[in-house]
Amino acid sequence: MDCVFCKIVRHELPAEILYENDKVIAILDINPIHYGHALVIPKTHCLDFLSVKESDLHDVLHVTQKVARAIVTTLKLEGFNIFSNNGRIAGQSVFHFHMHITPRYPDDNIKFVLQLKSYDGGAMAEYADKIRHHIL
Ligand code: 5GP
Ligand code: ZN
């Protein structure tokens, strides 16, 4: 499989491995938002958050917490972000599911540029209703 994270999982490509167990590997991101930016990756290939097996997701989240604690302690952080990009339009560039953990610092000027909306009339209830119908 020609997937960069699968190659890292198989130790065919070099990576700064922070932690690994039989299901999950955590590495430093090669192009960090801030130094210490880490990626937590299930060892079994899957495309994204929607397709990751429930038990792998559980293991990834568990390791994300473990590694985030270590990053916070090491870098004496006041805060950090965890996130996952899903789909090219959302910024995903490696199509093997992973969580990002990135340190945050005061005035680091990292932000989504958001124009927040409000719901008109019954739109909020309509959206909630439609989404509820698709929850399996
Ligand atoms: P995405 O854009 O899919 O949310 O995140 C993919 C991340 O993987 C990017 O932040 C990118 O810097 C990182 N990345 C891509 N290739 C490699 C690699 O070969 N080694 C490491 N350590 N990180 C990589
Ligand atoms: Zn893969």
Active site residues: 98
Contact yes or no for 26/19 (Cβ under 8 A): yes
Span 100-113, pLDDT tens digits: 999 999 999 998 89
Q: What kind of fold does domain 4-110 have according to CATH?
A: HIT family, subunit A (3.30.428)
Ligand minimally distant from the alpha carbon of residue 3 = 2
Average pLDDT, the chain: 97
**Cα(66) to centroid of ligand 1, in Å?**
20
| Entry pTM | 0.97
Alpha-helix runs per DSSP H in 54-122: 54-75
- Domains of the chain, by residue range, sit at 4-110
Distance CA 55, CA 58 (A): 5
Secondary structure class of 1 (helix, strand, coil)? coil
Closest ligand 1 atom to 37 CA: 10
Task: Indicate if ligand 1 lies below 6 Å from the C-beta of 85.
Answer: yes
